Chains A and B, each alone.
Chain A
């Protein structure tokens, strides 16, 4: 049945159609990646799945049609999104940002405090800056906070819009270590990345999107060896093993 199923999704900005007839699936416990050039419609896709943009087509979550539900309801059901623009609460502390990440949870303050501690263990940098305003964090720290804040809601489906954008190589590595770790905790992940190679190395399944349409899909382990994709997205030659 699949955790998330998208059927014939189309989205327009005014008269311009940004996404055409996209169908896609995420199975429970899977990492799925969508790669594609700038302006392909990847961000639009995630914004639509979380309910921030109106669309045609159907979105199913655990088999239930959620196309008519609002964003807040979807978040309560277990959707999480790290948006491309991060959308942090700039004049609030790191700690308060994390606290609000747990707004949709109903399991009490003690559990939320524990989660914040866990998140701090994972991102020690954020613990150091817990009382600093989010708006004064460095670009990389802001990314971390956005990621950490999304984890606070304990999502069943976590959608990441370019989580490694602008991060130092060491931190990028950390991000790609966390993603499979989260999967092992039972979080399903829909990942969008410019860094197509890392994305395909981490993912189970991949989609290639160009100008609003899915042009290619398959097991990530197969896509990564596809000569055509190597030429366009994976930086010329196949890496030697």
Chain B
């Protein structure tokens, strides 16, 4: 391997890593607010890619069916809870948030799916369609067991992943897709060709990380989310609803997943079940950040991307093995450095 190849591999790795960064930040966001390791995270990204591909080939995306099923189930559960509590005044609000709002993009889709949309519009419609999935799953699956242990939530989360990828097969079919490139621009710097696609990925990832950071640091909603993550009882005493904070976390987290899906769709072939492995790699990045630290998570995910890129060059069949073997030393290191200080905390 010479310096030029190393540079190309690094560039490639940084671009892949940037996608993992987005996903891993979404992971950490959802985990810290809700204590749920959201395993179906990668599925959300894969479904985004599949939806985008369907729109490109002017087909009706299966996502609409998926969202409709989830919205109806969530609405039924919400109505049941309302009827039991006899607080009928909440019915219109529940109908709006659990039925009308999630199905709105799906309704729009009914009109536009036959038409030719330009790329930015396709992306916007796709993300709007995908966004309700995670909050609806939260309402259906996790809200009823919100007080369960982290382990139980994780087990349910794994089960949910398998259910979702089953539904993915039903709604999207078994074919793999790859969407059109977002740009065919490219430059050469110091003899190393850099594709516009890579630049776009890195820039987009950086922008969304920055937006997330600004949201957390400078808005009261962002601070309320942090507060919920740090101390649920304290947050409730301020009038912050953990369930509401959870919905916002799922919404933002799945926005990050959807954007990764949009970015990865032109560079990787995506199947209905491709999400799992992508999500798992982002998860390694999140573990490096201890599932709490955003900067460490970002650094860890970039590292995973670069490592994967070099591993793929050295020996393609072993690239997954290399990445996941990394988990072992990282977990050991984490368990030594993280567990001690938490014990003498106030909790």
B237 touches A87 (CB 8 A): yes
Q: Is B236 an interface residue (CB 8 A)?
A: yes
Surface stretch bound by A, among B59-67, B145-153, B218-226:
B218-226
Once the chains bind, are B227 and A50 in contact (CB under 8 Å)? no
A window 39-93: CB within 8 A of B: 50, 52, 68, 70-72, 75-76, 81, 83, 85-92
B110 on the A face (CB < 8 A): no
A66, B346: Cα distance in complex, Å: 31
A51 to B, closest residue via Cβ: B236
| A87 & B241 in contact (Cβ 8 Å cutoff) | no
Closest A residue, CB atoms, query B233:
A87
CB-CB under 8 A from A75, the residues of chain B are 236-239
- Interface mask (B220-260 → A, CB under 8 Å = 1, otherwise 0): 10011011001101111111110000000000000000000
For A153, give its contact among B85, B224, B233, B239 (CB under 8 Å): B239
Q: Could you tell me the distance in whole angstroms from the C-beta of A30 to the nearest C-beta in chain B?
A: 22
A230 at the interface (CB under 8 A from B): no
Residue in B closest to A112 when the chains form the complex, CB atoms: B220
Dominant secondary structure of chain A at its interface with chain B: loop
Q: A85-B346, A89-B231, A90-B346 are in contact. Are A96 and B223 (CB under 8 A)?
A: yes
Q: Which residues of B contact A90 (CB under 8 A)?
A: 230-231, 345-346
Q: B223–A72 contact, CB under 8 A?
A: no
In angstroms, how far is the closest chain A Cβ from the Cβ of B297? 16
B238 and chain A: residue at smallest CB distance = A103
- Given A92-B226, A92-B227, the answer on whether A103 and B233 have CB atoms closer than 8 Å is no
Q: Is the CB–CB distance between A103 and B230 below 8 Å? A: no
Q: Are B223 and A99 in contact (CB under 8 A)?
A: yes
User: Which residues does chain A contribute within 8 Å of B236, judged by CB atoms?
Assistant: 52, 71-72, 75
The interface size bin for chain A is 20 to 34
**Complex partner residue of A100 from B85, B227, B345, CB under 8 angstroms:** B227
User: Which chain A residue has the least Cβ–Cβ distance from B347?
Assistant: A85
In the complex, which residues 313-347 of chain B have their Cβ closer than 8 Å to any Cβ of chain A? 345-346
Is A89 a contact of B239 with CB atoms below 8 Å?
Answer: no
A202: interface (CB < 8 Å): no
Q: What is the CA–CA distance of A83 and B231 in the complex, to the nearest angstrom?
A: 13
**Bound complex: CA of A102 vs CA of B224, how far in Å?**
11
For the side of the interface on B, what is the size category? 10 to 19
**Chain A CB within 10 A, most for which of B85, B234, B238, B240:** B238
Task: Tell me if A195 counts as interface (CB < 8 A to partner B).
Answer: no
CB distance from A158 to the nearest CB of B (A): 12
CB of A104 closer than 8 Å to a CB of B: yes
A163 at the interface (CB under 8 A from B): no
Q: How far is the CA of A99 from the CA of B235 in the complex (A)?
A: 12
Among candidates B220, B230, B239, B240, residue contacting A91 with C-beta atoms closer than 8 Å: B230
Alpha-carbon separation in the docked complex, A72 to B226 (Å): 17
- Complex contact A103–B220 (CB within 8 A): yes
| Pairwise interchain contact A87-B240, C-beta atoms closer than 8 A | no
Please determine whether A87 and B224 come into contact, CB atoms closer than 8 angstroms: no
Would you call B346 and A89 a contact (CB within 8 A)?
Answer: no
CA distance A87 to B228 in the complex (A): 11
Least Cβ–Cβ distance between B56 and chain A, in angstroms:
44
Complexed CA–CA distance, A77 and B234 (Å):
17
Most chain B CB within 10 A, of A89, A91, A99, is at: A89
Chain A residues lying within 8 Å of B85, measured Cβ to Cβ, are 68
Closest to A88 in B: B234
Docked pose: A187 CA to B243 CA in angstroms = 30
Residue of B with least CB distance to A80: B237
Nearest CB of A to B336, in Å: 21
Given A96-B223, A100-B224, is A83 in contact with B237 using a C-beta cutoff of 8 Å? yes
Complex: how many Å from CA A34 to CA B44? Answer: 53
Q: CB-CB < 8 A to B239: which residues of A? A: 72, 75-76, 103-104, 153
Partner of B237, one of A71, A91, A96: A71
Among B85, B224, B234, B241, the one with the most A-chain Cβ atoms within 10 Å of its Cβ is: B234
Q: How far is the CA of A50 from the CA of B238 in the complex (A)?
A: 11
Residue in contact with A92 in the complex, picked from B220, B230, B240, B241, CB distance below 8 Å: B230
Contacts of A149 in B (CB 8 A): 238
Q: Which residues in B have their C-beta under 8 angstroms from that of A85?
A: 346
Q: Tell whether A92 pairs with B238 under 8 Å between CB atoms, given A52-B233, A83-B233.
A: no
Q: List 25 A-B contacts (CB under 8 A).
A: A50-B237, A70-B241, A71-B236, A71-B237, A72-B236, A72-B240, A83-B237, A87-B234, A89-B226, A89-B227, A90-B230, A90-B231, A90-B345, A91-B226, A92-B230, A96-B223, A99-B223, A100-B220, A100-B223, A100-B224, A100-B235, A101-B238, A103-B238, A103-B240, A149-B238
Residues of A participating in the B interface, judged by any CB pair closer than 8 Å: 50, 52, 68, 70-72, 75-76, 81, 83, 85-92, 96, 99-101, 103-104, 149, 153
Further pairs besides A71-B237, A75-B239, A89-B234: 9, Cβ < 8 Å:
A50-B237, A52-B236, A72-B240, A75-B237, A76-B239, A86-B346, A89-B226, A103-B224, A103-B240
